[in-house]
């Protein structure tokens, strides 16, 4: 399927297209021999909705070190994240086992700058897997906060463009990927592979 992760049937709210995906998949069962591997021939239709905008104007290019800028972003997004958690009754943040988002931000920024420090209390994994889990938690925090604005529809492409091209977190994630990829530790090198989606592999 040529669709993004999390959308195995293509665009949401398009039952006709989704049925075609299902029928195409089930048709493979009619083949006389296998295994069968085929590419679905159609791209998902573009999602509708209003142009997307983050509910918070982040101060890009603000003076200060990377950690300070990252913590400032987190602070600005926190009320919207809390609103998203209240409205939805759930959150994807929590994979790392660290309860405080500021602590996550400081730890990952410290690692990028060469001062990793001791893993925070409650961390669910050892390094380098902890870095991956913290990265996933921070991405979830940003994405949930950014989509909490009432009445704003968003494509995942617009959301990812914002995250990886316009935020300090995106900058930190690229730095983290490059640092892990250059490591001689095979576990760190392997961990670098999943930090940035392939479509955003090249740093802006």
Report whether pLDDT(136) > 90.
yes
Q: In this structure, are 183 and 148 located in the same domain?
A: yes
> pLDDT tens, 138-167?
999 999 998 887 655 567 788 888 999 999
Q: Please indicate, yes or no, if residue 171 is contained in any of the structural domains.
A: yes
Asked if 86 and 172 sit in the same domain, the reply is yes
Q: Are residues 33 and 110 in the same domain?
A: no
- 106 shares its domain with 28: no
Among the listed ranges 15-24, 60-69, 92-101, 184-193, which one has the minimum average pLDDT value?
Answer: 60-69
In a domain, 130, yes or no: yes
- Establish if 132 belongs to a structural domain: yes
Is residue 60 included in any domain, yes or no? no
What does pLDDT average to over the chain?
Answer: 85
Of residues 67, 75, 170, the one with CA closest to residue 113: 67
Q: What are the C-alpha distances in Å from 106 to residues 17, 31, 98?
A: 44, 54, 12
Range of the domain at 33: 1-48
96 and 150 co-located in one domain: yes
The answer to whether residues 2 and 80 belong to one domain is no
Q: Do 81 and 145 sit in the same domain of this protein?
A: yes
* Number of domains forming the structure of the chain: 2
Beta-carbon count within 10 A of 47 CB: 17
Query: Quick one: pLDDT at residue 63?
Result: 60
Residue 51 has pLDDT above 80, yes or no: no
Higher pLDDT, 8 or 141: 141
């Amino acid at each position: 399927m040529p669709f993004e992760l999390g959308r195995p049937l293509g665009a949401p709210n398009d039952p006709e297209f989704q049925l075609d995906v299902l029928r195409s998949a089930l048709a493979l069962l009619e083949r006389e021999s296998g295994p069968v591997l085929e590419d679905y021939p159609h791209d998902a239709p573009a999602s509708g909705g209003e142009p997307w905008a983050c509910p918070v104007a982040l101060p890009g290019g603000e003076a200060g070190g990377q950690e300070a800028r990252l913590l400032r972003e987190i602070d600005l997004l926190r009320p919207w994240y809390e609103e998203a958690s209240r409205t939805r009754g759930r959150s994807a943040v929590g994979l790392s086992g660290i309860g405080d988002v500021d602590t996550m931000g400081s730890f990952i920024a410290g690692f990028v700058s060469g001062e990793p420090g001791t893993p925070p209390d409650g961390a669910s994994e050892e390094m380098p897997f902890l870095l991956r889990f913290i990265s996933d938690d921070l991405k979830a925090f940003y994405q949930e906060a950014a989509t909490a604005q009432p009445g704003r529809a968003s494509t995942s492409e617009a959301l990812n463009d914002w995250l990886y091209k316009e935020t300090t977190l995106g900058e930190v994630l690229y730095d983290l990927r490059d640092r892990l990829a250059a490591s001689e530790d095979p576990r760190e090198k392997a961990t670098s592979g999943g930090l940035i989606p392939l479509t955003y592999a090249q740093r802006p």
